[in-house]
Structure 1
Amino acid sequence: MINALSLGLMIVGIVFWFWGTWPLLGERSVLFKLHSLSVSDTLGSMAIIAGLLLKIPREWPLLVLALISLAIWNTVLGYVLAYCSTEGRGDD
């Protein structure tokens, strides 16, 4: 049962990765594409790590650290990229 749930989470993670990549082919703005890619990559990676956590529970400290790092890093990176994209559009 645990192996099936672990495999299911990993498959969901891979689906999120492809789901976030698909909007890159659209006609939307670069910021929309970047946002959808970063959110789906974060969720997909977190689902894969959760699946690994179920499969190899003896490595839980390292995998929990990876989950926390993913959540913090991708959130901060999103804010930095959003700030950088508005730089130069100021009201001078």
Structure 2
Amino acid sequence: MEGLVEGLSSLFFAVGVLFWLWGTAPLIGDRSILFKLHSLSVSDTLGSMSIMIGLLLRIPREWPLLVLALISLAIWNTILGYVLAFCSQRKSL
């Protein structure tokens, strides 16, 4: 059973790193800066959350702290996305 948990944890770590790399690939494209920031923030959030789940499987005694980190990642990265979108709008005087 312990080997299965270790393997699943490693899989979540690998998926997290893949999300991080996947999000940096659009940075070299010709798309708008907002598209680049959006793809980077989404993939960074998903990658970080996947790594946190891997940590949760590996050290379950720390579940309150890791669940708090997961919730914080989801909330703060979503709010940051809304702030970036709001600040990028052209305001008329």
Give the TM-score normalised by structure 1. Answer: 0.95
Report percent identity of matched pairs. Answer: 71
Partner of 1:48: 51
Partner of 1:66: 69
1:3 to 3, 6, 10: 6
Report the Cα offset of residue 68 of structure 1: 0.1
Q: Secondary structure at the match of 1:90?
A: coil
Provide the C-alpha distance between the structure 1 equivalents of 2:50 and 2:21, rounded to a whole number of angstroms: 13
Which segments of 5 or more consecutive residues in structure 2 lack a partner in the other structure? none
Provide the C-alpha distance between the structure 2 equivalents of 1:90 and 1:57, rounded to a whole number of angstroms: 48
Partner of 2:92: 91
Cα deviation, 1:22-55, whole Å, max 9, x if unaligned, reads: 1000000000000000000000000000000000
Provide the C-alpha distance between the structure 1 equivalents of 2:35 and 2:83, rounded to a whole number of angstroms: 15
Provide the C-alpha distance between the structure 1 equivalents of 2:54 and 2:38, rounded to a whole number of angstroms: 24
Paired amino acid for 1:14:
V
Please give the residue correspondences for 1:13-28 in structure 2 after superposition, counting only pairs within 5 Å: 13-28=16-31
Partner of 2:83: 80
Paired amino acid for 2:13:
M
Provide the C-alpha distance between the structure 1 equivalents of 2:60 and 2:21, rounded to a whole number of angstroms: 27
Provide the C-alpha distance between the structure 2 equivalents of 1:71 and 1:27, rounded to a whole number of angstroms: 28
Which segments of 5 or more consecutive residues in structure 1 lack a partner in the other structure? none
Give the TM-score normalised by structure 2. Answer: 0.94
